[in-house]
Chain A
Amino acid sequence: MLNIEGIDAGYGATTILNGVSLEVNQSEVVTIVGANGAGKTTTLRTIAGLLKPTTGRILFEGEDITKMSAHDIVELGITLIPEGRQLFPDMTVRENLLMGAYRRGARDHQAETMDHVMELFPRIRERLDQHASSLSGGEQQMVAIARGMMARPKLLMFDEPSLGLAPIIVAQVFEVIGKIVASGATVLIVEQNVFNTLKAADRGYVLENGSIVLSDTAEALLKDDHVRQAYLGI
């Protein structure tokens, strides 16, 4: 579904990604594992079109999206749930969710999607008319995920969904991600909580200093000596 072929990307003169290649297949859950600063977020931002690679190609369902603008990529059905929630603070939760369904492919099914999302996130229903900035960190993360779901994406990307959340909330977030995965969605996830993520994923890539150094099934990675030492601390 998604094919990345040897991309270099970075900010200004600083190159962060060096020849990264990876793929995500239909209904697969793929994770990118790596230390802080390895380039995980940069990879997701490049796929989403917020950053343009200097070399390499990105294909989505066979179409070359390398040079496409971010909003056109959303139209194609790729949605990124960004690191740090990034809600619209002075909008209500309902308005935030409606913005999620801004893309043409989702606009017509707005009401229907809303019902479906409310089932997944019963807690949000009670908060629909509150301003997003008045929610707790965990609630905000739930709204961010719900907003991403509102776009009815073909590929859903998560960037550090458990960042800065208390352990109990992290468990809830992973429960929700588990439900989304169980519904057959195609997911690409980046997360510092390596253990939980590998448990939920089908396959994984290990990113170090901007390059993929290892790729295997999630199960194999959990047993890999290098991964265990570098990311699980054992």
Chain B
Amino acid sequence: MTFTKTLPASRGLPLAAMGVVALLAALFLIPVVIGDEFVYHIFITICLFAGLSTAWNIVGGYAGQLSLGHAMFYGIGGYAGVILMNMGISPWLGMFVGAGVAALVAVVVSYPCFRLQGPFFALATIAFLEVFRVLALHFRGLTGGAMGLMIQLKLGWEWMVFRERLPALIIAFGLMLVCLAVAHLIRSHRLGFYLVATRERESAARAAGVQTVKVRLIAVAVSAALAAMLGTFHAMYLTFIEPAAMFSLSFSIQIAMFALIGGIGTIYGPLLGAALLVPVTEFARGMLGAEALGLHGFVYGVVLVLAVLFMPNGIMGALQRFTARRTGGEEQAVQAGPVVAAARTAESPEERPAIGREVMRVENLDKHFGGLHVTNNVSFSLREGEILGLIGPNGAGKTTVFNMISGFLQPDSGSVSVLDREGRFQNPVTPGDFAALGVGRTFQIVQPFAAMTVEENIMVGAFYRHHDVNDAREAARETAHRMGLAPWLNAEARGLTIGGLKRLEVARVMAMEPRILLLDEVMAGINQTDVRRAIDLMLSIRDTGVSIIAIEHVMQAVMSLSDRVIVLNSGEIVAEGKPHDVVRDPDVIEAYLGKDFAHAQY
């Protein structure tokens, strides 16, 4: 599921763009030049499937929600078109009615299904498809039931029904272009970044202020509307529809299959998949006729199995690997490159702004997991421009506290208030609320959007302040530079070292321009030089007036950074104060080193 190299900025673009244009031109010109009915039919079918598959890809690829019920929307479009046409309304209008209904159905159907993952989402979509098929069979008055519906033969552009094939090709081709354009638009704008981020790491996306449910609903609505429009066209092209054909599971599977084989999640993969597979099987069907009943389906099935085994990223993935090999092992070089961080710029510690008013107030947080009391009556506050260290042994409840002060976990009791820009205290609930108040967080276990480049990862954060792609890219680059990530801007996040990933985690949050920064063990597992650099970086962030709460195990960092330290043990605050006082506290020593050690010392 590679995502990167279809972007405008990627190398080898002119070649790829030329390839796409050539393919599109061929799709239209070949049948026109040959002029054969059967060839026309094949190319119309390619355009139909390419369009459907591209629409599916917005949900199945970008958003990673594997729908096997997309024929549902296609069928809705088909029925809307035919029923309205038989009432005397042009399918050009019916098309939009169908699209509207399909979008509505998609939102209603998908909303509850988003909590299901992987195979369960797929199963739910299959079940919905079956329900629609059964309902279409049942409401005979409207749909003609199992007998199907025939359209009244009214010819001409107005009714989208023709004797010749060329107009149908023009419409199919046009609709396919619309689908491709929409897919391209989504992918290259904020929505596309948000969708992929949500797919890759939902919690990290939420921390970056993405309303994950909303962006997915937009995606399914758009995808369903496009599929419905193609359904209306296809019904007019077929002139006859029946529930078994319009709400078919195998048709749904085909739609998804072309995307997978072409390259799931890429813009042009579905087009490529349909353009390669439809002709092969349609020709086989045309040549062998009834003798080869099932042959094309068998070929599809086998190709699908082979594709997942040997080419899981589809044709696009294979092409990328090919071009990557030709340009030389660039990614290797990128990983092995030296760390050239330019962290702290000018400020020296003496110039730091004074610690200001309270910006976050945490009162009496309590949380149980089953019988375990993970946080017990935790209260503290954070001031403007202050660095607060949160330390304690593993399992003390530090990350649980973080989850509660960023909206990822609801406390059993107690409250978290954050000062808003107008100077009033608010009680945020969801991660989105916290993000809106300027609270940004990192995760202890790094959560990169693995299939995105470093730049795109940071852009997901930057989109919170900049809605325009170019502005967000600019801001992301600036942040990357500050964080010493500039050399890797175009490297995929999954290729970074652990130290790099930690920095990326901070960079993504910094791109949101937070006022309160929650850092969960950003120094764990990085080497001494990087620790020194990270300390400078945090100080420079603080000097811009940002307040920081840092969970940290690296004592050296805690001591030199923190204005104040809170020690958590078994879910309770056991000490609080200046770093040097806290480490001498017997309770703290006992918590960290055990009773024996405490006794041995005092």
Contact = CB atoms under 8 A, between A and B. Distances in A.
A and B touch in the complex (CB under 8 A): yes
A193 B570 CA distance: 15
15 contacts: A13-B494, A14-B496, A16-B498, A36-B524, A36-B553, A37-B525, A136-B371, A165-B395, A167-B570, A167-B590, A171-B594, A193-B393, A209-B525, A233-B583, A234-B601
A186 to B, nearest CB: 24
Given A14-B498, A193-B594, A209-B527, A164 B394 contact: yes
Contacts of B501: 14
B594 A196 contact: yes
Interface string A38-73: 110000000000000000000000000000000000
A232 interface: yes
Interface string A123-157: 00000000000001100000000000000000000
Contact of A196 (B498, B556, B591, B596): B596
Contact of B594 (A12, A195, A234): A195
B489 interface: no
B335 A194 contact: no
Interface residues of A, number: 32
A233 B553 contact: no
A202 interface: no
B526 interface: yes
Nearest to A194: B593
Nearest to B598: A195
B594 A233 contact: no
A230 B371 contact: no
A15 interface: yes
Contacts of B521: 36-37
Contacts of B601: 234
B586 to A, nearest CB: 12
Interface in B406-461: none
Interface string B558-591: 0000000000001000000000000100000111
Interface in A165-202: 165-167, 170-171, 192-196, 199
Nearest to B332: A13
A163 interface: yes
B593 A232 contact: yes
B596 A199 contact: yes
Given A166-B570, A233-B583, A195 B395 contact: no
Contacts of B362: none
A170 B372 CA distance: 16
A163 B553 contact: no
Chain A interface helix/strand/loop/mixed: loop
Nearest to B371: A136
Contacts of B593: 193-196, 232-233
Given A14-B498, A37-B525, 13 more contacts: A12-B494, A13-B495, A14-B501, A15-B497, A35-B525, A37-B498, A137-B372, A171-B594, A171-B595, A194-B593, A195-B596, A209-B528, A233-B592
A56 B480 CA distance: 36
Contacts, number: 74
A160 interface: yes
B157 interface: no
Contacts of A171: 594-595
3 closest Cβ pairs, A-B complex:
A37-B525, A164-B395, A37-B524
A103 B501 CA distance: 39
Nearest to A15: B497
Interface string A16-46: 1000000000000000000111110000000
B555 interface: yes
A232 B597 contact: yes
B589 A192 contact: no
Interface string A197-234: 00100000000110000000000000000000010111
B554 interface: yes
A188 to B, nearest CB: 19
Given A12-B494, A37-B525, A195 B393 contact: no
A36 B394 contact: yes
Interface string B494-527: 1111100100000000000000000001001111
A144 to B, nearest CB: 15
B213 to A, nearest CB: 30
Contacts of B494: 12-13
Residue among A16, A160, A195 with most chain B CB within 10 A: A195
A37 B531 CA distance: 13
Nearest to B594: A196
B498 A195 contact: no
A167 B525 contact: no
B25 to A, nearest CB: 40
Nearest to A170: B594
Which of the listed residues B394, B528, B595 has the most CB atoms from chain A within 10 Å of its own CB?
B394
B527 A230 contact: no
A160 B335 contact: no
Contacts of B526: 37, 209
B371 A36 contact: no
A167 B594 contact: yes
B589 A233 contact: yes
Interface string A73-113: 00000000000000000000000000000000000000000
A135 to B, nearest CB: 10
A136 B556 CA distance: 35
A173 to B, nearest CB: 11
Nearest to A160: B394
Nearest to A13: B495
Nearest to B552: A36
B563 to A, nearest CB: 19
| Highest count of chain B CB atoms <10 Å: which of A16, A37, A38 | A37
Interface string B333-363: 0010000000000000000000000000000
Contacts of A166: 570
A233 B597 CA distance: 11
A164 B398 CA distance: 12
B309 to A, nearest CB: 20
Contact of B497 (A14, A37, A234): A14
A38 B596 contact: no
B324 to A, nearest CB: 15
Nearest to A14: B498
Interface string B368-396: 00011000000000000000000001110
